Structure 1
Amino acid sequence: MESTGTAYRKHQGVSGEFDAIVIGSGMGGLSVASLLAQEGKRILLLEQNNVVGGMTQAYTRSGYRWTVGMHYIGEVGSTKGTGWKLFNRATAGRIEWSALPAIFNRMVIGDRAYDIPAGIEAYGDFLKAHFPEESVAIDAYLTLIGKVAKSSGPYFAQKALPQKTAEKIYDAYCAEFHQYSRELTIDALRKLTKNEELIAVLCANWGDYSLEPSKSAFAMHCMLAKHYLNGAHYPVGGRQRLCQGDGAHH
């Protein structure tokens, strides 16, 4: 079942008083509307489609359900993680997560299949088992993932500050992150190893950020890789739970 509403054109108008009007029911709009509603605000959420959810929508064809944008989510396996806390806050604690199998990705090159496991230690062991001569490069890569992902913190933090304050600290806060965001993924990896097949395996999930390694920023690659290092989860009840709130249709 989808969360649906009545087309606006069928109404003579919308009556009542509202503290805020949110236009668009994508994940951003839904999050804002939810957070304000949790504070007791009266919210009018407008969506041009008859199904809310934006890129969390799904459709059914030939008996199969297809999710438009969301496939699996990382960093929600622990209640101590930032990802879990953000989703929990935005949904008022109504989302439960189901872990995908430990092997949640498969990379195929020719007749060779690489089953990618969850967990940084398991992932490192997996890479070294297939590329034992590249152990040093693999260790350096795993260390770099954490370092680059951590450097993104100040970059995103300054965006939440008042504009004048953010402008004053921008260069100091963002310098390290920009160092990696200005470097292409393929160039950064070729500094670590000349093994093109290893590079291909490291970039196996570039489709998750939709830009091939020859065009993507290394910072984006590392943030994505870090996001899935400990595996992936899916919301219990399907992606529609993200926009159903307490389970009722709106």
Structure 2
Amino acid sequence: MAQVRTGRRYRTKRADSHYDAIVIGSGMGGLTNAALLSLLGKKVCVLEQHYTAGGFTHAYERNGYEWDVGVHYIGEVHKPSTLGRIFDVISQGRLKWAEMDPVYDKIILGDEEFDFVAGRDNFIEELCKHFPDDRQVIQDYIELIRKMSRLTPKFFMGQAMPRGLGNFYNRFLRRLLLPKEFFQTTRVVLEGLTNNQKLISVLTGQWGDHGQVPEDASFVMHALIAKHYLAGGAYPVGGASEIARTIIPTIQQGGGEVFTYAEVDELLVENNQCVGVKMVNGDEIRADQVISNVGFMNTVERILPAAQRQQYNVNKEAEKLQRSSASLCIYAGFKGTAEELGLNSTNLWIYPDGDHEGNMKRFLDDPDAAAPLIYVSFPSIKDPDWDNRFPGKSTVEIVTLSNIDWFKAWDGTTWQQRGEDYEQYKQQQGERLMEVLFQRMPQLRDAIDYYEVSTPLSTQFYQLNKEGEIYGLDHFVERFGQSCLHPQTKLKNFYMTGSDVMTAGVGGALMGGLFTTMSMHGLRGSKIVKQLLKDYKIPEA
């Protein structure tokens, strides 16, 4: 059985005193950026404060089971695609994918169920069974999200440019080159296609993948996710930790390393340029360039020195942005194989009904109200290597939304020391979610072996996200026009990467790593990186 933890534990003098680049945070964007820089000849040091590398792509083991914490499914990688090619290059062909069942998502609105089936024609035909009078609307919708996907490189082109030129492009040129749907909310666009509210509720049934209801979320975010999965979903062979495990050797081959237990205190700034980082233990590591993969809020609130926060007026910029949703999660283990338990790989999206906005408002006003969404994933059956590692066992994960304000009573407490009242609250929430699972799959009730609950405080502790947010920044239309989210910051030689410079999700964070690498190489950056992706030959096994 492969060790689920990845990366090398940081110790003083294990790291070199100087690198070509330092990446803070080992999430998908940071690992992508570090691997691409390594393949371009740079020696890169990745510093991860957690005990394992991978960010939200990591996995963990407990009580004889293993769960992912964020890689529930990924689209496009099992087909010829840009995303698949990038993964192949940065992992040097080591990372393999397993395709899910054709029905990748099941949207459940109250007592009604709607299947999302892989393949454009299959998707359309299945939905037309439920909405026979709306065939043209469904076809128009599919063509629209495909068009949005094709034009997305133009939308994000500014992120690959040097900062000044990129922000000029984003602010003035983008609206001249792209259709209006790029600058509208999901609900506005879909209500322009149809007045069938049930159909809209179904089409937006994956909004939990970014955490915002249709009236708030940019249609760009919706379209990218819907198109991303249109050909079906896939999962890493060997589990989520394989993502970091297969990318880290690429960084090491360039003379770099990925360190864990390596928390950065703040940036080192001299003569108005970033020259390295200071660790929480006082160590200093220097580099020609430093890249933050810890999100915009953590960057400006935690690692940017106070003098630079004031100099660049980042507090004013932060006021224009909003942290994404927090979550409450169940990680459950069951005795029995997927076949014995009657499981398949289809994800379940369970909603009280189709009123996504109303359900969300009621939930935020009253935490005892019905959850606005409940997502159920079956990771063990998605991984064809699972039975070799955990024979006779299966896992289920349940995710719903939460709010850090509901946990203020335990503010300042630490993991596993929050008190009996916290454990009781977690137990109540866990039983509530498990009952939803058992109602749909009663055969699992007697097979349960172990489960545990994570709350926004868990995310706060492990990821250092202040409000337990899981998707970085919310995806309002206005978010994509903020100059502070460009990969190249105002501080010379300091960059940002990951989902906040692009979009939420593994694919969005990976593209953030790609665009940051381009931006770091100036006006020719896009050409340099594209040439690498085109010419790179995967080493033979």
TM normalised by structure 1 equals: 0.88
2-side partners of 1:123 and 1:187: how far apart? 23
Counterpart residue number, 1:201: 202
| CA 1:203–1:61: 2 relative to 1, 3 Å | farther
Counterpart residue number, 2:58: 57
| CA 1:93–1:61: 2 relative to 1, 3 Å | same
Cα shift at 1:66: 2.6
Is the counterpart of residue 105 in structure 1 residue 108 in structure 2?
Answer: no
2-side partners of 1:129 and 1:33: how far apart? 47
Gapped regions of structure 2 (runs ≥ 5): 250-256, 259-541
Partner-residue secondary structure (3-state), 1:159: helix
**Match for residue 9 of structure 2 among 1, 6, 26:** 6
Counterpart residue number, 1:156: 156
Preserved contact between residue 154 and residue 173 of structure 1 (Cα < 8 Å): yes
Quick one: which amino acid aligns to residue 235 of structure 1?
Answer: P
Preserved contact between residue 22 and residue 45 of structure 1 (Cα < 8 Å): yes
Counterpart residue number, 2:183: 182
Cα shift at 1:39: 4.2
**Structure with larger Rg:** 2
Q: Deviations over 1:24-59 (max 9, x none)?
A: 111122122222333454332211111111111123
Preserved contact between residue 241 and residue 247 of structure 1 (Cα < 8 Å): no
| CA 1:111–1:153: 2 relative to 1, 3 Å | same
1-side partners of 2:147 and 2:162: how far apart? 27
Counterpart residue number, 1:38: 39
Q: Deviations over 1:184-211 (max 9, x none)?
A: 2112112212221111110111111111
Counterpart residue number, 1:142: 142
Counterpart residue number, 1:116: 116
| CA 1:41–1:148: 2 relative to 1, 3 Å | closer
Cα shift at 1:236: 1.0
Q: Deviations over 1:115-145 (max 9, x none)?
A: 2100011001111111001112112111111
Q: Deviations over 1:12-34 (max 9, x none)?
A: 66346533222211112212222
Counterpart residue number, 2:330: none
Q: 1:169-248, aligned counterparts within 5 Å?
A: 169-170=169-170, 171-177=172-178, 179-245=180-246
| CA 1:159–1:193: 2 relative to 1, 3 Å | same
Cα shift at 1:84: 0.5
Gapped regions of structure 1 (runs ≥ 5): none
Counterpart residue number, 2:26: 25
Quick one: which amino acid aligns to residue 3 of structure 1?
Answer: T
Number of equivalences: 247
Is the counterpart of residue 68 in structure 1 residue 69 in structure 2?
Answer: yes
Preserved contact between residue 148 and residue 177 of structure 1 (Cα < 8 Å): no
| CA 1:95–1:158: 2 relative to 1, 3 Å | same
Preserved contact between residue 151 and residue 176 of structure 1 (Cα < 8 Å): no
Quick one: which amino acid aligns to residue 71 of structure 1?
Answer: H
Preserved contact between residue 24 and residue 47 of structure 2 (Cα < 8 Å): yes
Quick one: which amino acid aligns to residue 24 of structure 2?
Answer: I
Cα shift at 1:107: 0.9
| CA 1:44–1:236: 2 relative to 1, 3 Å | same
Is the counterpart of residue 78 in structure 1 residue 100 in structure 2?
Answer: no
Cα shift at 1:146: 1.4
Partner-residue secondary structure (3-state), 2:195: coil
Partner-residue secondary structure (3-state), 1:35: helix
Cα shift at 1:179: 2.3
Partner-residue secondary structure (3-state), 1:238: coil
2-side partners of 1:148 and 1:15: how far apart? 45
Preserved contact between residue 152 and residue 177 of structure 1 (Cα < 8 Å): no
2-side partners of 1:136 and 1:41: how far apart? 51
| CA 1:65–1:174: 2 relative to 1, 3 Å | farther
Preserved contact between residue 7 and residue 248 of structure 2 (Cα < 8 Å): no
Preserved contact between residue 185 and residue 217 of structure 1 (Cα < 8 Å): yes
Quick one: which amino acid aligns to residue 204 of structure 2?
Answer: C
Cα shift at 1:63: 4.2
Q: Deviations over 1:149-181 (max 9, x none)?
A: 222211212321233443554433444547224
Counterpart residue number, 1:125: 125
Partner-residue secondary structure (3-state), 2:74: coil
Preserved contact between residue 90 and residue 247 of structure 2 (Cα < 8 Å): no
Cα shift at 1:238: 1.1
Preserved contact between residue 131 and residue 198 of structure 1 (Cα < 8 Å): yes
TM normalised by structure 2 equals: 0.43
More strand by share: 2
Preserved contact between residue 137 and residue 192 of structure 1 (Cα < 8 Å): yes
| CA 1:246–1:215: 2 relative to 1, 3 Å | closer
User: What RMSD, in angstroms, separates the aligned Cα atoms of the two structures?
Assistant: 2.4
| CA 1:166–1:38: 2 relative to 1, 3 Å | closer
Preserved contact between residue 31 and residue 91 of structure 1 (Cα < 8 Å): no
2-side partners of 1:219 and 1:176: how far apart? 15
